[in-house]
């Protein structure tokens, strides 16, 4: 079994403040959140995780649910009391899983540009096959993979953003064989569907989606309709990577969401 201490965690701020855990997206790392934490550290103790296969946390050939148990166990060890939780894209899927399966660990959760997974076994199988092709392509030629990845319509507004080149350079520092393992074990095709659990959720969830990211705006609306303790915040003139595309607005709305009763 993987050692929970394998998770690399960056911390910022005082432990005397309420904790907030931030989970990055696919291809990212804990360092993606550092510009955001500059505005949070006065009031929050920030814990930034490298998810498996990203940054300095090794990938594990371990089932999705076992990795989530290990992550939850690690969170329970490093926090002094229930923390706030926020996750983007892949990190948002993981944050939603944690909030639904381990609600006692968290005070509120913010899900950014993410979904509860795929509803049917057939959809998950098709996605696993798709992700396997992606994993093979990044192992074969990582630079070519990155070019194709950011040509996806999902990232069209990010690609036109002044911070895109900085973001791309950070992605190039990844280890493709580690990312491939992460995709095979943490991808949407391997995650259990959480759609059926939303109606019973009594943990407060906020869903953030970019106005230009129509797929996730619709997913957000569907989740809010199912989940009684939730709200949806749509970011104008933003796409999938809304926390990069309009960082100031993201920070303002994140802080508002954390303090709202």
**CATH assignment at residue 191:** 3.40.50.1820
Q: Which neighbouring-strand residues pair with 230?
A: 205
Q: Is 196 exposed, middle or buried (0-12, 13-18, 19+ CB in 10 A)?
A: exposed
Residues in Cβ contact with 222 at an 8 Å cutoff, skipping those fewer than 6 apart: none
pTM over 0.85: yes
Q: Over 80: is that where the pLDDT of 21 sits?
A: yes
Domain count, the chain: 1
Percent above pLDDT 70 for the chain: 98
The phi and psi torsions of 210 (rounded to 5 degrees) equal -80, 140
Q: What secondary structure letter does DSSP report for 101?
A: H
Structure tokens, 205? 């969830």
Residues in Cβ contact with 34 at an 8 Å cutoff, skipping those fewer than 6 apart: 10, 12, 48
Instruction: Please check whether residue 11 is in contact with residue 33, taking contact to mean a CB–CB distance below 8 angstroms.
Output: no
Instruction: Please check whether residue 204 is in contact with residue 229, taking contact to mean a CB–CB distance below 8 angstroms.
Output: yes
pLDDT at 261: 63
pLDDT at 258: 93
Instruction: Please check whether residue 211 is in contact with residue 236, taking contact to mean a CB–CB distance below 8 angstroms.
Output: yes
pLDDT at 6: 85
Band of pLDDT at residue 4, cut at 50, 70 and 90: very low
pLDDT at 152: 93
Identify the domain containing residue 74 by its residue range.
4-259
pLDDT at 260: 81
Q: Which pLDDT tens digit goes with each residue over 160-186? A: 999 999 999 999 999 999 999 999 999
Q: Over 60: is that where the pLDDT of 16 sits?
A: yes
Q: Over 70: is that where the pLDDT of 122 sits?
A: yes
Distance CA 78, CA 224 (A): 31
In this prediction, residues 140-157 reach a mean pLDDT of: 95
Band of pLDDT at residue 14, cut at 50, 70 and 90: very high
Q: Over 60: is that where the pLDDT of 92 sits?
A: yes
In this prediction, residues 219-223 reach a mean pLDDT of: 97
Q: Over 70: is that where the pLDDT of 3 sits?
A: no
| Average of per-residue pLDDT values in the chain | 95
Q: Which of 28, 27, 235 is nearest to 113 (CA)?
A: 235
Structure tokens, 97? 């899983």
Could you give the residue ranges of the DSSP H alpha helices within 49-120?
64-78, 90-101
């Amino acid at each position: 079994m993987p050692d929970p201490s394998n998770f690399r965690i960056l911390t910022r701020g005082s432990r005397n403040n309420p904790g907030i855990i931030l989970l990055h997206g696919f291809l990212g790392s804990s360092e993606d959140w550092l510009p955001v934490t500059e505005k949070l550290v006065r009031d929050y103790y920030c814990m930034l995780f490298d998810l498996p296969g990203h940054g300095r946390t090794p990938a594990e050939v371990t089932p999705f649910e076992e990795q989530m148990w290990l992550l939850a166990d690690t969170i329970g060890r490093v926090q002094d009391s229930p923390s706030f939780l926020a996750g983007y894209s892949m990190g948002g899927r993981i944050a939603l899983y944690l909030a639904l399966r381990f609600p006692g660990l968290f005070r509120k959760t913010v899900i950014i540009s993410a979904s509860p997974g795929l509803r049917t076994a057939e959809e998950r199988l098709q996605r696993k096959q798709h992700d396997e092709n992606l994993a093979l392509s990044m192992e074969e030629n990582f630079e070519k993979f990155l070019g194709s990845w950011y040509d996806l319509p999902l990232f069209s507004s990010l690609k036109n953003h002044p911070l895109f080149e900085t973001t791309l350079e950070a992605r190039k520092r990844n280890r493709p064989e580690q990312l491939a393992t992460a995709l095979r074990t943490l991808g949407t095709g391997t995650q259990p569907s959480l759609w059926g659990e939303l109606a019973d959720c009594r943990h407060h969830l906020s869903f953030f989606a970019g106005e230009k990211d129509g797929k996730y705006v619709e997913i957000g609306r569907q989740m809010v309709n199912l989940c009684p303790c939730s709200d949806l915040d749509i970011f104008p003139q933003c796409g999938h990577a809304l926390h990069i595309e309009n960082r100031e607005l993201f920070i303002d709305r994140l802080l508002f969401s954390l303090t709202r009763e």
